[in-house]
Structure 1
Amino acid sequence: MPTGQEPPQLLKNRLFYAGRKFNFEVSRFRLPNQVVGDWECIRHPGGALAIPVTSDGQLVLVRQYRFAMQGRLLEFPAGTIEAGETPLTTIQREIEEETGYRAKNWLSLGKFPLAPGYSDEIIYAYLARDLEKLETAPALDVDEDLEVLLMTPAELERAIQAGEAVDAKSIASFLMARSHLNL
């Protein structure tokens, strides 16, 4: 079996919380190195993120209030994959709901684990081009508090370098998209 593909032996599993967006469980495992222990994990259905690019090369971002951080973070539009959705259908829905744009051209940038130390969440990143501004206002969920912003890739890079509050999935996806943004 190739390195990295060695599943642990599950000895006991306890679900502590079943929520709207994720579950929290504690499991007892025997690892491939024979160590036995309890590990906590947030089980998440995954998320999808878009890097929307306007015809003049600007990026569409949102500045969203995040209660866990008690503040606003700069992010690319993203959302949780719902039952019956593919990552692409998730982000096509989310970009319209959060930003009021629709993209005609989609490029998969790949996927990555968000926080593998405590969660199994995978983020699927896409580049969204050929944007069309919708006539209706974004259809935000009741718990979403955000504003839509346009920035050049250089402005976003300066914000990241300056330590502005930018979430990790947006930074990682921006790095994945750089070669497609002519930077």
Structure 2
Amino acid sequence: MTHQKPEILRTSIVAESRLFKIESVALRFSNGVERTYERMKGGGYGAVMMVPIDADDNLILIREYAVGTENYELGFPKGAIDKDETALTAANRELMEEVGVGAKKLTLLKEVNLAPSYFSARMQIYLAQDLYPESCEGDEPEPLEIIKWPLARANELLDNDEITESRAICALLLALKQLDK
């Protein structure tokens, strides 16, 4: 069955903060039904997340505070793509800022959405290999804790209560698929 995209009748910003805009979107579907939805208006240039693997076959994770859950969370390095920056450049910059390494090899695993019914933001997930020491100043409010986790025990991360972000779990599974583990 082929779907025809609904017609956008009108859009308007209904709320705005420093980081987010909430947009109202009035739609007419091909069967004539009209509905109004709200979504977080996309801004910026996208984001990246990297699954770094060092020469000793360790996954490199970070533990950082997440205000949304009011907890320290275990995950992979990630960040926004800056204006006039490619996703690959952003991926390496974020690795340098958050982990203190660069990657000679970055393999795109997948571009993902987070709750596509409500957000238009996209994130590119990369496998980062052939790491080398390199750091640059980041924007984190406190030093991030770097955790090395043996790749051979990667499946145990799925049961770890500290790793709850769906994009990080998705990144881990995509990396394991790419590595055929």
Q: Do both share a fold (TM > 0.5)?
A: yes
Q: How does 1:4-153 map to 2 (within 5 A)?
A: 6-44=4-42, 45=44, 46-134=46-134, 136=135, 139-143=137-141, 146-153=144-151
Q: Out of 169, 173, 176, which is 1:175 matched to?
A: 173
After superposition, give the CA deviation of every residue in 1:27-73 in whole Å (9 maximum; x if it has no partner). 11113343211111112342111111101110111111011110011
**Aligned AA for 2:175?**
A
The change in CA–CA distance for 1:87 and 1:3 in structure 2 (over 3 A counts) is farther
The change in CA–CA distance for 1:32 and 1:158 in structure 2 (over 3 A counts) is farther
Higher mean C-alpha deviation, range 9-18 or range 49-58: 9-18
User: Aligned-pair distance for 1:139?
Assistant: 2.3
User: Aligned-pair distance for 1:89?
Assistant: 1.7
CA–CA distance in 1 between the matches of 2:142 and 2:41?
22
SS in 2 for 1:82: coil
CA–CA distance in 2 between the matches of 1:146 and 1:117?
32
CA–CA distance in 2 between the matches of 1:72 and 1:94?
19
CA–CA distance in 2 between the matches of 1:96 and 1:20?
26
Number of corresponding residues = 179
CA–CA distance in 1 between the matches of 2:20 and 2:151?
32
The change in CA–CA distance for 1:123 and 1:33 in structure 2 (over 3 A counts) is farther
**Aligned AA for 1:77?**
P
| 8 Å CA contact retained: 1:52, 1:127 | yes
| 8 Å CA contact retained: 1:65, 1:145 | no
SS in 2 for 1:127: strand
| 8 Å CA contact retained: 1:65, 1:144 | no
Aligned sequence identity (%): 30
User: Aligned-pair distance for 1:17?
Assistant: 3.9
Higher mean C-alpha deviation, range 43-52 or range 162-171: 162-171
CA–CA distance in 1 between the matches of 2:18 and 2:92?
21
Compute the RMSD of aligned alpha carbons: 2.2
In structure 1, list runs of 5 or more residues that go unmatched. none
**Aligned AA for 1:169?**
R
